Amino acid sequence: MNTQQAPFPLINRQAARIIQGRHTEVLVTSFVDKILILVSQYGKVGSLIHTTVDQQSLIASTAAGDLASTSSKFLLGAGSSTSKKTQLYQVYASHITQMIQHQNPMESRAVVLSLALDIQEPDLERGQSEEEEKEERLGDRELFENVVELVNECCVWM
């Protein structure tokens, strides 16, 4: 009888840092069929987005040196399609999936991304000055870049 066991199939990586004054946790788990990425500033699961690389565009993009297009579907927590948070979450999902594909062109697993980030919707009644809008966009960009960097530190796809 063979008592030697196969290694446990899950690989986990975790990282945290303060981003814009908020503790931000990232947990990435490698499953046989999916990569699960949890990003939270609230200690909650948040919105779940299932993202895949479009295989036809992958072939064309690889030949041209471009990024492949992705398909994303909210599984949980989708807001209005016009809400800033929903649109930004779609950008996060697409960018992170493309980053994984770019770093490992052989990676074919879907990405399930959970995001619970402190993204404020604009106050349409009050309105914003150009300076306030610019500051908000810079803050959104800083958050995005830090989250992507933190996810990349938890690489399980290489």
- Of all residues in the chain, the percent with pLDDT exceeding 70 is 87
Residue 6 maps to a domain: no
Residue 158 maps to a domain: no
Residue span of the structural domain in which 55 resides: 11-120+130-153
Q: Report the chain's mean pLDDT, rounded to a whole number.
A: 88
CATH of the domain at 15: 3.30.230.90
**Mean predicted confidence (pLDDT) in 54-58:** 69
Confidence class for position 58, pLDDT limits 50, 70, 90: low
Residue 71 maps to a domain: yes
Report CA-CA distances (Å) from 11 to 28, 37, 129, 133. 8, 12, 47, 40
Residue 80 maps to a domain: yes
Answer yes or no: is pLDDT of 2 > 70. no
Answer yes or no: is pLDDT of 149 > 80. yes
Number of folded domains in the chain?
1
The Cβ of residue 131 has, within 10 Å, a number of other Cβ atoms equal to: 8
Q: According to the model, what pLDDT value does residue 144 have?
A: 98
Residue 26 maps to a domain: yes
In eight-state DSSP terms, residue 128 is: -
Q: How far is CA 143 from the centre of its chain?
A: 12
Residue 67 maps to a domain: yes
The model's pLDDT over 76-133, given as tens digits with 9 standing for 90+, comes to 987 777 889 999 999 999 999 999 999 998 999 999 999 999 998 877 677 778 888 8
pTM for this one?
0.86
